[in-house]
Amino acid sequence: MIDMLTEAGVSIRSGARVVDAVMRLDSTGPRISAVRVLGDKRWTVGKVYVDATYEGSLMKLSGVTYTFGREASTQYNEPSAGRLPVPNTTEATGWIHGDIWHCAFKELINPYVDASNTTLIPGVTGTSLPPVGSADGMVGSLDWRLTMCSMTNEQNVIPIPAPSQYNPAQYELVRRVLHAGWNPTGALLPRFTLPGNKSDWKMLAGGDSLAELVGPVAAEYANATWERQLQIYSEYKQYTLGLLHFFKTDPSVPTHVQRSMQEWGLCRDEYNRSGHWPGQLYVREALRMVSDVVLTEHDVVATEFQNKSDVIGLGAYTVDVPGPAQRVVVHGRVVNEGSIKVPYFCDPKVSPYALPYAIMTPREGEASNLLVPVAVSASHIGFNSIRMEPQWMILGSAAGMAAAMAVQSNHTVRDIPIVALQAKLRAGGQTLDL
Ligand SMILES: Cc1cc2nc3c(=O)[nH]c(=O)nc-3n(C[C@H](O)[C@H](O)[C@H](O)COP(=O)(O)OP(=O)(O)OC[C@H]3O[C@@H](n4cnc5c(N)ncnc54)[C@H](O)[C@@H]3O)c2cc1C
């Protein structure tokens, strides 16, 4: 990719965090006139800006309307929006709007530290839930995608560092799930084998999302300051290092599991700018722009394809909130709430849908030279179908072409000739209709 950018004469500044934006009012409304990156006093001036971050950093700095968390099901009349029914309770009876059982605890887990039933064990964050379908600030879990190296590859393996402050009590929930009979071997074994005796790990993906960052802190990340986001990254890294240590050493972990965990380390040749640990959290959803058009469940879970006049590509994926939004107490047991697949995971029959250009452009009267191809204007449910690599590539490619057209023709991003953009996309091989 860097070769392609170099060939096109694009200069790249990496590690440059945009922290400030200056807005200017002209006849087209507010525009971003310059941005500044952390540690640099100079301002960088552009005609058009593309914010391709999950965090919607520049969108937020430029005063564009945004949201985060889950809308109420009444807001856009979406059947699967808002707080979801809790699996294994009467709430779930008759629920037909998607698979909510994906990471439900099958075992009955006591949520309290002791028999006084007053203090919750770590990771369980509440004892009451608002009605099904209510809005809240929750999002699906955050996690890591670790690349691990087998101890047999002595040239490349680095021992997993010990956590800075290990507190085994923090992992009481995992201990109780193990005690209830959960066999973690499948979830802990390398899932995706890579050359060089490496493994791509989505840790505990099959284990009730026990390794994931769930609940209020995951929700807080979305709209937190950058400093707080960095703090959440560090705290969660320490938590995960502790969990790996727990699986290697805790007496509650079966010996064969301890041994299999001891067979893995970090890779010397991976993530070498961030201590061989991913430099970024696996953020599935953070901020979402609210523009004139908001893509919702009705758009992404349609039974029949319906095209849109400003289509810039086609998407197709299950609505997939893989990890739960929260882990709370219902009827005296720990439950995971918020994971959903609509209709169900990787359904090959999912019908394609049109991705409209308007989900990348701010409302009239807001930053008229900004394109937002990641934190797009979509509901929580709509976004969790869009948030996949093929769709990001389609949106990113259209945003790049639209930005060039806006620069060349002196149009605002909303006013570029959409038919000309579609012709360019088609000429480049993009599919815009079925
Ligand atoms: C661990 C993981 C597993 C995934 N698995 C799958 C999968 O199986 N299938 C699938 O389809 N998709 C998957 N995804 C989603 C998909 O891979 C990612 O969404 C995609 O790679 C994101 O690429 P990107 O270039 O759009 O965003 P990123 O790579 O996140 O790039 C955004 C960049 O913006 C930078 N940035 C943020 N804020 C600022 C700022 N203020 N100033 C300047 N720069 C800033 C960030 O540092 C980052 O470099 C996964 C994502 C992750 C992280």
**What is the position in ligand 1's atom list of the atom closest to the CA of 389?**
11
pLDDT tens profile 137-186: 999 999 998 999 999 999 999 999 989 999 999 999 999 999 998 888 77
**What is the position in ligand 1's atom list of the atom closest to the CA of 144?**
1
Distance CA 276, CA 235 (A): 17
Distance CA 224, CA 215 (A): 14
- Which residues have CB under 8 Å from 166's CB, separation 6+? 242, 245
Distance CA 334, CA 31 (A): 49
**What is the position in ligand 1's atom list of the atom closest to the CA of 226?**
41
Confidence of residue 190 (pLDDT cuts 50, 70, 90): low
Nearest CA to ligand 1 atom 27: 53
Q: What is the mean pLDDT of the chain?
A: 94
pLDDT above 90 covers a percentage of the chain that reads 82
- Which residues have CB under 8 Å from 88's CB, separation 6+? 104, 105, 106, 335
Pair of tokens at residue 378:
């979509």
Confidence of residue 224 (pLDDT cuts 50, 70, 90): very high
**What is the position in ligand 1's atom list of the atom closest to the CA of 18?**
42
Residue 187 has pLDDT above 80, yes or no: no
The Å distance, Cα 322 to ligand 1 centre, comes to: 17
pLDDT at 205: 63
**What is the position in ligand 1's atom list of the atom closest to the CA of 282?**
53
The Å distance, Cα 288 to ligand 1 centre, comes to: 15
CB atoms within 10 A of CB 431: 12
Residue 294 has pLDDT above 80, yes or no: yes
Distance CA 93, CA 311 (A): 38
Half-sphere exposure (Cβ direction) of 162: Cα atoms closer than 13 Å: 6
The Å distance, Cα 281 to ligand 1 centre, comes to: 9
H or E element at residue 146: strand 146-150
Q: Is the pTM of this model over 0.85?
A: yes
Distance CA 223, CA 68 (A): 7
Among 199, 392, 393, say which to mutate for ligand 1: greatest number of ligand atoms within 8 Å of CB. Answer: 392
Nearest CA to ligand 1 atom 1: 145
Pair of tokens at residue 59:
């969108």
Residues 69, 136: contact at Cβ < 8 Å?
A: yes
pLDDT at 281: 93
The Å distance, Cα 352 to ligand 1 centre, comes to: 23
CA 121 to chain CA mean position, Å: 26
Nearest to 327 by CA among 103, 80, 137, 51: 103
Nearest CA to ligand 1 atom 34: 53
- Which residues have CB under 8 Å from 394's CB, separation 6+? 312, 313, 314, 315, 355, 430
Nearest to 50 by CA among 370, 360, 398: 370
Distance CA 109, CA 105 (A): 8
Pair of tokens at residue 303:
């039974």
Q: Which residues approach ligand 1 with their CB closer than 6 A?
A: 17-18, 52-55, 57, 145, 282, 374, 388-389, 392
The Å distance, Cα 372 to ligand 1 centre, comes to: 14
pLDDT tens profile 305-364: 999 999 999 999 999 998 899 999 999 999 999 999 999 888 888 899 999 999 999 999
pLDDT at 345: 87
pLDDT tens profile 232-275: 999 999 999 999 999 999 999 999 889 988 999 999 999 999 99
